[in-house]
Amino acid sequence: MTSILQVKGLKTTFFTDEGNIPAVDDIDFHLDEGEILGIVGESGCGKSVTSLSIMGLVPNPPGKITDGSITFQEEDLTKASEKRMREIRGNEISMIFQEPMTSLNPLFTIGNQLIEAVKLHEKVSKQKALHRVIEMLKVVGLPRAEEMVNEYPHQLSGGMRQRVMIAMAFICNPKILIADEPTTALDVTIQAQILHQMKELNRKRNTAVMLITHDLGVVAEVCTRVIVMYCGQIIEQADVNTIFQSPKHPYTIGLLQSVPDIREKRSRLFSIKGNVPKPGSIQKGCRFAGRCEQAHDRCFAEDPPLYKGDGQGHQVRCFLHESIEEAHHVEDTITSP
Amino acid sequence: MSKTLLQVHNLKKHFPIYGGILNKKVGEVKAVDGLTFSVKEGETLSLVGESGCGKSTTGRLIMQLIEPTDGSVIFEDQSLTELSKKQVRLTRERMQMIFQDPYASLNPRHSVQKILEEPLIVHGIGSKEERKQRVKEMLEVVGLSSYHAKRYPHQFSGGQRQRIGIARALMTKPKLIIADEPVSALDVSIQAQVLNLLQDLQKKFQLTYIFIAHDLGVVRHISKSVAVMYLGRIVEIADSETLYNGALHPYTKALLSSVPIPDPTIQKESIPLSGDLPDPSKPPQGCAFHSRCEACMDVCKTQKPTLMEVEKDHYVACHLYEEDKQFNDK
């Protein structure tokens, strides 16, 4: 499978009065065609800033991409002009935000806002655009689409608004969809519907999806590959089955254990001690060391690199798994004559 | 057998809708429409449902923060709905609330000391020194340190703030705590910490909880019994194990299967529930759930089902089981 998006050494820093905060600190990843990549982490881990960096929407000032590259179809988005970015946004890479209440303009009808999205990127008549809008609204499972185009956002429920947002994101047939916590503000029953919808569109249109979420249940349900982030760094990366069946990083293990599972009753939930550190507060060593039960002296002194251990794309940023890396190297030298 | 601490009988809250040129009442939202349940001392009852089902309104009605349209709330053999405002305020010493949003529920201009001692001042408990001592104690109990008393809310993370909110609720040594989505605004790793804390505190102080949540996963670990609400009514109420292992109402079943399972090997293809929650000001005739129900029958469209005991301590409001029941009775 070919990668459609390559992120290399991306660093996004926020320059504030309290100092420079590296919200995203040197991350590498790729997004393959037609896959659903989950980016998981708790608040402040940099998952949203990552997506804003790709879209070129980091608020500047105070934020800025200070290093690295984002390659989309052989084009470096960090160097693209604002005009070029506007062509890409919504057309080739589109985004769904968390708050369906605030991401639609309350003063314009649903039809108006969707037609604008079409006409911005393609030279079509208003009639034709409207036709496509209605069709798209039907695709995302909205009933009475013909009437809905004349309605205002406040007339719709949260789930319906999020569907309108999905329709808007998909209307220009983008190659990549970035969904930033698309179901967090919704009820579970509506969440199930929206996730199903996104999966369907991913399958039918082969759109690559980058799903940003804190909910591991959602990840298990829809994603094919997972990146776990902590304090602006990628700490583990693997395909979804590996992450859930044999997680390696102590943080991933803890996170998985602290999710309440509806299938069994535990008298006590496992919990990771301590709090998520403020971004930029840890200068040296592994950023999870302070909360890690297996931390040793080295964890506080040295930054662990991302070990690319087993050759299956499973990467872990933890000294505990250094040995895997070494063992692998040894094997390499033996097998290669 | 422990005794019943709280009894709610036929509790109703109808909010009027005003409109038109003369601002007359044009309709009403039946936010809570005839709830009956009871909670025993030291137990946890969870109220679960989608947004707009009236679970938070129920919490506020129990606290008498809003006046019920009808029905009664009996707390420790005292009918709260018949008391004067002053008397109600006195009973709040024994019932306290934990709120959802730890960022909005603490006054940013007050130090933690002031936030925590305020309930004591309101109820006239202790001298200044005693209050200070109690604040220190309580901070330790919820897993913070006594030196945190001098700090202000903005210096704490979300999880720590929620601990302060819990400490504040416990200051007056209450018997009943109404927790309105206490963990839904928190991160996963912090959520587990706070849930464990709530469980420890329950054992330590013999607390009774009413736990309001939309997440069935969270609720399972903490509750003795669970009540599922839909558009202002309870559709199913049972012991938590019974409910999770053998839910009867189609809505409860749909709700349970909508919860994402953290296991990628399980593939779910069907969507458990289609459509949105109906407009609460114009609820469907008959059973409020019939518009989204797969097992909908003709009788559901015209007649409201009543909550009845299908198995021991397992109540369901659904016509599917009414027939069974009548059949068995014969």
pLDDT tens digits along A214-251: 888 899 989 999 999 998 899 999 999 999 998 999 99
| Nearest residue in B to A40, CA atom | B188
Same-domain status, B181 and B270: yes
CA B61 to chain centre: 11
B167 class by beta-carbon count within 10 Å (0-12 exposed, 13-18 middle, 19+ buried) = buried
Q: Do the beta carbons of residue B185 and residue B177 sit within 8 Å?
A: no
Mean pLDDT of B46-58: 89
pLDDT of residue A331: 46
Mean pLDDT of B114-122: 93
In this predicted model, what pLDDT tens digit does every residue of B166-197 receive, in sequence order? 999 999 999 999 999 888 888 888 888 889 99
**Residue A195 scores a pLDDT above 80:** yes
pLDDT of residue B115: 94
Same-domain status, B54 and B184: yes
- What average pLDDT does the structure give for chain A? 85
How far apart are alpha carbons B178 and B209 in whole angstroms? 6
**Residue B97 scores a pLDDT above 70:** yes
Whether B301 maps to a domain, the answer reads: no
**Residue B325 scores a pLDDT above 60:** no
Q: Give chain B as a 3 state SS string.
A: CCCEEEEEEEEEEEEEEEECCCCEEEEEEEEEEEEEEEEECCCEEEEECCCCCCHHHHHHHHCCCCCCCEEEEEECCEEHHHCCHHHHHHHCCCEEEECCCCCCCCCCCCCHHHHHHHHHHHCCCCCHHHHHHHHHHHHHHCCCCHHHHHCCHHHCCHHHHHHHHHHHHHCCCCCEEEEECCCCCCCHHHHHHHHHHHHHHHHHHCCEEEEEECCHHHHHHHCCEEEEEECCEEEEEEEHHHHHHCCCCHHHHHHHHHCCCCCCCCCCCCCCCCCCCCCCCCCCCCCCCHHHCCCCCHHHHHCCCCCEEEECCEEECCHHHHHHHHHHHC
Mean pLDDT of A266-287: 78
**Residue B1 scores a pLDDT above 60:** no
The pTM score is: 0.85
Q: Cα separations (Å) of A201 from A162, A169, A178?
A: 15, 11, 13
Its domain, for residue B262, covers 4-94+177-275
pLDDT of residue A333: 45
- What average pLDDT does the structure give for chain B? 88
Whether B124 maps to a domain, the answer reads: yes
- Contact yes or no for A262 and B188 at CB 8 A: no
Whether B307 maps to a domain, the answer reads: no
**Residue B328 scores a pLDDT above 80:** no
C-alpha dihedral, A261 to A265 to A267 to A268, nearest 10°: 0
pLDDT of residue B36: 92
**Residue B329 scores a pLDDT above 70:** no
In this predicted model, what pLDDT tens digit does every residue of B136-157 receive, in sequence order? 999 999 988 888 999 999 888 8
Instruction: Out of B187, B263, B276, name the one closest to residue A276 (CB).
Output: B187
Q: Which of B275, B299, B316 is the last residue of a domain?
A: B275
Instruction: Out of B215, B216, B271, name the one closest to residue A196 (CB).
Output: B271
Domain count, chain B: 2
| Percent of residues in chain A assigned helix, strand, coil, to nearest 5 | 40, 25, 40
Whether B161 maps to a domain, the answer reads: yes
Whether B253 maps to a domain, the answer reads: yes
Establish whether this prediction's ipTM goes over 0.90. no
φ, ψ of residue A191 in degrees (nearest 5): -55, -45
Q: Which of B173, B199, B222 is the last residue of a domain?
A: B173
Residue A214, min C-alpha distance to chain B (Å)? 7
Same-domain status, B16 and B88: yes
Longest dimension (CA), chain B: 68
Same-domain status, B169 and B223: no
* CATH at B198: 3.40.50.300
Whether B75 maps to a domain, the answer reads: yes
Q: Which of B241, B257, B275 is the last residue of a domain?
A: B275
Whether B262 maps to a domain, the answer reads: yes
Q: What percent of chain B has pLDDT over 90?
A: 45
Same-domain status, B185 and B263: yes
Same-domain status, B67 and B209: yes
pLDDT of residue B58: 93
Same-domain status, B169 and B181: no
Mean pLDDT of A285-305: 87
**Residue B226 scores a pLDDT above 90:** yes
**Residue B286 scores a pLDDT above 60:** yes
Same-domain status, B72 and B113: no
Q: What percent of chain B has pLDDT over 70?
A: 96
Same-domain status, B184 and B271: yes
Mean pLDDT of A108-122: 90
Phi-psi region of A285 (alpha: psi -120 to 50; beta: other; left: phi over 0): left
Residues 6 or more apart whose CB falls under 8 angstroms from that of B294 comprise B250
- 152-211 of B, contacting A, C-beta below 8 A: 157-160, 187-193, 195-196, 199
CA A227 to chain centre: 9
Closest CA to A209 of A248, A187, A235, A183: A183
Same-domain status, B186 and B248: yes
Same-domain status, B80 and B194: yes
Instruction: Out of A196, A267, A275, name the one closest to residue B159 (CB).
Output: A275
pLDDT of residue B68: 92
Same-domain status, B119 and B190: no
Whether B69 maps to a domain, the answer reads: yes
